[in-house]
Amino acid sequence: MNQQGWQDLYRLLGLAKGEWGWALAGVLLTAGVILANTALLGLSGWFIAAMALAGHGGPGLDFFAPAAAIRGLAILRATGRYTERLVTHNATFRLLTKLRVWFYERLEPLAPAVLERERDGDLLSRLRADIDRLETFYLRVAVPSAAALLAVPLLLALLAWLSPGAAWIEAAGLVVAGLALPLWALTLGRAPGRVAAAKRGQYSADMTEILRGHAELLVAGALTRIEAQAETTALALEDAQRHQGWASWVTGAVGQFTAQLCLWGTLVITMPRAASGLLSGPDVAALALLTLAGFEAVAGLPGAWQALGESLASARRVFELADATPALQEPARPAPSPRRFDLHAEELVMRYAPDLPPVLHGLRFDVPEGGCLGITGPSGAGKSSLLSLLPRFRDYQSGSLQLGGVEVRSLPGETLRGLCAMVTQRAHLFNTSIRENLLIAKPDADDTALRDALREAALLDEVLAMPAGLDTLVGEAGAALSGGQMRRLAIARAFLADARILLLDEPTEGLDAATEQRVLEALARLRQGRTTLLVSHRPQALRLADKIFTLS
């Protein structure tokens, strides 16, 4: 494993800090179960052999004590295993929940500037599949490895007490099955694991895009080609999984073989001692079974360490994004929230990357509080880029943009986003009810407030005429609504948010004249008392503005 792998492993252990108590309980229980199981098998072997010899006229046997011990150990093993599963799974699931929240909190500041470079399906795969895969590390690698470290010395001590020779054989076998094999499995599993994690993300991204752009791909005749691409990814994933299966079979088989070899080795060295009377027959049976049962302590390790390759690849994919630098830095000492809401820009310069030419260059404008500035200009002039500065989705590099006399860059993004409402031609609607889509803007709004907002947006009558009213489902990205209804739903949201700054980006684009008129009437009500930036090409829409500014 390379240095990066070890660092990730160490970091994964660090992230589990809050759950160490549970994990320790899991380790103790697992080690207890291994010891109980080994003792059970050894004692059972001894007891059966002793009973058989007693039956054949051998020495008499008090069978009550061993029978009771066997029953006790069996109960201990069953309850121990149940409790161990309960504890370790509880710890792991709590941890995965924590990890998911931790990862999401790191993703949030990356939106939208950094995340828009990623494929949606791949992001989802990191958040879900990759984090789920870390379960393998905690549940199958960390806890069983620690339990083996605890149980094996005790087991060897017991064997050494009964027969030092058998203890040496067992120690050699356990070094092979519990150390060499897991390390070999880790090496074998690393490359296919890395491929599997990457291909799983790619497949998820391919499928998300196929489903989302299905209609366009079908019309363009590109569906078969893109499906073939996804199939190639699926085949590569399958190939990686086949390699993983092969590696797991090989290491499993070598582990079994080692255990059998140790069993025979123990028999070979103990039987002559039994023949010469140094050991009893039942002792030989007990030692042979103890040797075999001891391998339970390490049986799962090769498979788990092999899967560790994929877990680490998943961890890397998670850490890579979690460690990405946000496109903009929050101010170290935020300025107090503005009390006025006029806008002032001077010599404003904004570029998407240091090596790209500026999109906005020396921009200058003023909008009084409650005023509306219409912004027009050719495609690519930077109109949408300008709007993205106010909610701090992007930053400007020089010049000044002030809200109520406070430099926008010195305000936290969250404060600014709380002051802004947006209506764009691509306002996102979630695939849920109209009510839920509205509540995004104001979670505690009651039905009266929702209806008022819909009335102001000139959408109430249409919503009430729908069979489920406010509970009507809008479909994927609002597919069950018309373009005008989607736009007015976004306006209703803005009414509910009751923000002081309104950012309108082509709010009537793609609408017919009659619908545009209804949307504009709603917008005219919405802009009252709110400082508004309105980007549009359409003369009717620009009539809402007090002043028009052309970006070139």
Ligand X SMILES: Nc1ncnc2c1ncn2[C@@H]1O[C@H](COP(=O)(O)OP(=O)(O)OP(=O)(O)O)[C@@H](O)[C@H]1O
Q: How far is the CB of 523 from ligand X (least distance, A)?
A: 18
If the CB atoms of residues 207 and 381 are measured against ligand X, the closer one turns out to be 381
> Cα separations (Å) of 113 from 45, 435, 482?
67, 29, 30
CB 378 within 8 Å of CB 548:
no
Adjacent-strand bridge partners of 535: 375, 505
User: 167: how many CB neighbours lie within 10 A of its CB?
Assistant: 22
Which residues would be at the binding site for ligand X (CB under 6 A)? Answer: 352, 359, 377, 379-385
Please give the single-letter amino acid code of residue 308: L
φ, ψ dihedrals at 276, nearest 5°:
-90, 10
CB of residue 96 to ligand X, shortest distance in Å:
33
Instruction: For ligand X, give the closer residue by CB, 279 or 359.
Output: 359
Which residues does residue 398 pair with via DSSP β-bridges, in sequence order? 349
- Shortest Cβ distance from residue 533 to ligand X (Å)? 12
- Which residue shows structure tokens 């600014």? 416
Dihedral over Cα of 336, 337, 341, 345: its sign:
positive
434 closest CA partner among 390, 490, 382, 505: 490
CB of residue 118 to ligand X, shortest distance in Å: 13
Q: CB 109 → ligand X: shortest distance, Å?
A: 16
Report the nearest approach of ligand X to the CB of residue 444 (Å): 34
Closest CB to ligand X among residues 173, 382: 382
Nearer to ligand X, 3 or 379 (CB): 379
**Cis status of the peptide bond prior to 112, with omega within 30 of 0:** yes
CB of 406 to ligand X, least distance (A): 24
Residue 483: partners with Cβ closer than 8 Å, 6 or more residues away: 510, 511, 515
Nearer to ligand X, 147 or 386 (CB): 386
**Cβ-based nearer residue to ligand X, 70 or 363:** 363
Residue 395 CB, shortest distance to ligand X, in Å, is: 13
Scanning 108-213, the segments in alpha helix (DSSP H) are 120-125, 131-135, 143-162, 164-175, 181-212
For residues 279 and 163, the answer to whether their CB atoms sit within 8 Å is yes
State how far the Cα of 511 lies from the Cα of 418, in Å rounded to an integer. 29
Whichever of 181 and 422 has its CB closer to ligand X, that residue is 422
Q: How far apart are CA 423 and CA 471, in angstroms?
A: 22
In total, the chain counts a number of residues equal to 552
β-strand pairing of 406-407 with 398-403: antiparallel
Which residue type sits at 241? Q
Determine phi and psi for 502, rounding to 5 degrees: -120, 125
Q: b/e per residue, 286-301, with b = 16+ CB within 10 A? A: bbbbbbbbbbbbbbbb
Cβ proximity to ligand X: between 377 and 412 the closer is 377
Phi, psi of 547 (to 5 degrees): -150, 145
Q: Which of 132/395 has CB closer to ligand X? A: 395
Bridge partners (DSSP) listed for residue 550: 376
Q: Shortest gap between Cβ of 126 and ligand X (angstroms)? A: 21
In the complex with ligand X, the residue whose CB is nearer, 385 or 402, is 385
Of 150 and 350, the one with the shorter C-beta distance to ligand X is 350
Cβ nearer to ligand X, comparing 383 with 500: 383
Kindly state the smallest distance separating residue 549's Cβ from ligand X, in Å.
12
Other beta carbons within 10 Å of 215: 9
Q: Residues with Cβ < 8 Å from 292, sequence gap 6 or more?
A: 41, 259, 262, 263
**Closer residue to ligand X, CB minimum distance, 370 or 377:** 377
286: closest CA among 126, 50, 544? Answer: 50
Least Cβ distance, residue 105 to ligand X (angstroms): 23
Q: How far is the CB of 461 from ligand X (least distance, A)?
A: 32
* Distance, CA of 232 to CA of 225 (rounded, Å): 11
Q: Work out how close the CB of 328 gets to ligand X at its nearest, in angstroms, rounded to a whole number.
A: 13
Tell me if residue 402 falls in helix, strand or coil. strand
- The kind and range of the H/E element at 361 are strand 360-367
